[in-house]
Amino acid sequence: MENIIYFKNITKKYPGVIALDNVSVSIKSGEIHAMVGENGAGKSTLMNILGGEILPDMGEIVLNGKTVHISNPHAARLNGISIVYQELKLCPNLSVVENIYLGRERESGGGRINWTKMNMESREVFKSLGVDINLKVTVRNLSIAEQQLVEIAKAISLKSDVLIMDEPNSALTLNETEKLFANLKRLKGQGVTIIFISHRLEEVFKIADRISVLRDGRYLGTYNTAETGIDEIVTLIAGKKLVSELSHKKGKDVKFDAIALEVKDLCRGKYFSHINFQLYEKEILGIYGLQGAGRTELLETIFGMENPDRGEIFIFGRRVHIKSPVDAIKNGFAMLPEDRRRNGLFSNLDVKDNIGISSMREISSIGFLKRNRLLEIAREFVKMIGIKVRSITQMVRNLSGGNQQKVIISRWLATKPKIFLMDELTRGIDVGAKAEIYKILRKLRDDGLSILLVSSELPEIMAECDRILVMRNGMLVADLSREIATKEKVLRFALKG
Ligand SMILES: Nc1ncnc2c1ncn2[C@@H]1O[C@H](COP(=O)(O)OP(=O)(O)OP(=O)(O)O)[C@@H](O)[C@H]1O
Ligand SMILES: [Mg+2]
């Protein structure tokens, strides 16, 4: 195969950090090429250069043997390159189909916009993705998974020669991911070159022909998937041997007499109905289910972001009325939302304030902010889960996607909650940090925290949870202790009971 793209000696510096340090990589025409590396390794920066979002300080991009200047996204498109960005870039106030054709509306005679044609074409793309979506709905009203699918559909509909996907399926379930992969393989069959970024190495090994590794802005090499293994790549990514990504050490002392959280007959509209369960003290309780099963809605309702139609919530045996997140926090809840972009970061604040903002009660005394305590807490977390920052006064908006997530996780851990609701905890987090975060989780659990962990990642659910609930179509369909839970069983309940 010929090289379609050659990144030649690319360097990109930001104040205090070299995002890319003289990186040279070739991409072969018609291959699926994975880019892997820790949070902050430089993957998105490299892709954003190819996508015309940012300019390199040095180096060039050679496309089909010719040096090209991709100085803006339009130029990238003209060169046959399209990209699904890590952070979604849709216009929230436009409809699905308007988003897909933004800036390249199909016209019929007389300059009139040809909606019929655009609708038909988009429907086709969604059909190939196995997605049923209302094309007229405003994007703001879609779930993140749906938004991600719209981005993907948009990129595919551009019919580009090179398709870049920066963690395109981070919010998708197994099923949706499989359909996406089938599509990528089909596109590859048609000669499309695909660059794919993901932290989930199992899937990288399933789909990629070759894998390139970046670490701290440096290029470490490209490997044929068939000739390497996950362990080898993990070692390259982390720069050290990880003991084991998912440790199986469990808390022995789940106290089945102390109930931290009890939910009785909770119902909310079409989202879920008659939910009953108990979360014990010092327990990590997993909730598995497919996208749309109602898991996120359940968590949001418990946390007071939405009101239930009926039902009761008890905390350590005491009935509570949670009308808002503020109530929830007062009652000892913390919540890591699924959509961190919308519900979490203060991009205009720096790292330390983002970490400290929810634990001000502890940090401030009689109105005075204990600045030293804040600095101490921030430094502690930055070190503990390896947040890659130049300094704790760096603006959060300049961090890589995964490092932003780590900041939010730290913020909630710093509040020392009693009950922690977590929605897709390790989405977008690199393997090394994942292991650290699980370790922290287990320690917190052993120190008395009760955790409700919603996850679409079966390996995470299987390895980290003391007990597993399965949701399907808004109902709880299984409650499995880890002794009897197997992957197959959990999946079977999630799919059809
Ligand atoms: N606009 C910016 N200003 C300052 N620093 C930046 C900016 N954009 C990126 N960086 C820094 O460049 C480095 C590489 O970031 P990049 O987003 O490319 O990482 P990544 O490999 O995509 O990580 P992740 O897996 O977390 O998405 C990081 O240290 C990041 O903080
Ligand atoms: Mg990135």
Q: Where does the pLDDT of residue 411 fall: very low under 50, low under 70, confident under 90, or very high at 90 and above?
A: confident
Looking only at the bridges linking them, the beta strands covering 218-224 and 210-215 are antiparallel
Q: Where does the pLDDT of residue 184 fall: very low under 50, low under 70, confident under 90, or very high at 90 and above?
A: very high
- Ligand 1 center–CA 274 separation, angstroms: 44
> Nearest CA to 394 among 348, 360, 340?
348
- Ligand 1 center–CA 212 separation, angstroms: 17
Residue 12 CA, closest ligand 1 atom number: 12
- Ligand 1 center–CA 81 separation, angstroms: 21
Contacts of 125 (CB under 8 A, 6+ apart): 100, 153, 156, 157
What pLDDT digit, counting tens, does each position of 352-405 carry? Answer: 888 887 776 655 555 556 677 788 888 888 888 788 888 888 888 888 888 888
Burial pattern 417-426, b for ≥16 Cβ within 10 A else e, equals: bbbbbbbbbb
Joined tokens for residue 133: 């979506």
CA atoms 15, 21, 22, 26: torsion sign: negative
As for ligand 1, residues whose beta carbon falls within 6 Å of it are 14, 17, 19, 37, 39-45, 86, 388, 398-403
CB 75 within 8 A of CB 36: no
Nearest CA to ligand 1 atom 29: 40
Domains of the chain: 3-238 (3.40.50.300), 255-495 (3.40.50.300)
pLDDT score of 249 more than 60? no
Q: What percent of the chain has pLDDT over 70?
A: 93
Residue 428 CA, closest ligand 1 atom number: 25
Residue 217 CA, closest ligand 1 atom number: 14
| pLDDT value of residue 343 | 58
Whole-angstrom Cα distance, residue 181 to residue 203? 9
* DSSP-assigned letter for residue 495: H
| pLDDT value of residue 244 | 44
- Ligand 1 center–CA 42 separation, angstroms: 6
pLDDT score of 254 more than 60? no
What pLDDT digit, counting tens, does each position of 8-67 carry? Answer: 999 999 988 899 999 999 999 999 999 999 999 999 999 999 999 999 999 999 999 999
Q: Which helix (H) or strand (E) holds 256?
A: strand 255-268
More confident residue, 442 or 193: 193
CB 419 within 8 A of CB 278: no
> Nearest CA to 405 among 378, 428, 423?
428
Phi-psi sector, 83: left (phi>0), alpha (psi -120 to 50), beta: beta
| pLDDT value of residue 496 | 74
Cβ count near 303 (within 10 Å): 22
Whole-model pTM? 0.78
Q: What percent of the chain has pLDDT over 90?
A: 48
Whole-angstrom Cα distance, residue 341 to residue 26? 32
**Which of 10, 13, 14 is the pocket-test mutation for ligand 1 (most atoms within 8 Å of CB)?**
14
Helix or strand or coil: residue 277?
strand
Find the DSSP H helices in 170-270. 174-189, 201-207, 230-238
Residue 404 CA, closest ligand 1 atom number: 26
**Which of 53, 385, 398, 404 is the pocket-test mutation for ligand 1 (most atoms within 8 Å of CB)?**
398
Whole-angstrom Cα distance, residue 53 to residue 179? 29
Q: Where does the pLDDT of residue 453 fall: very low under 50, low under 70, confident under 90, or very high at 90 and above?
A: very high
The amino acid present at 492, given as its one-letter code, is R
DSSP states of 409-429: HHHHHHT--SEEEEESTTTT-
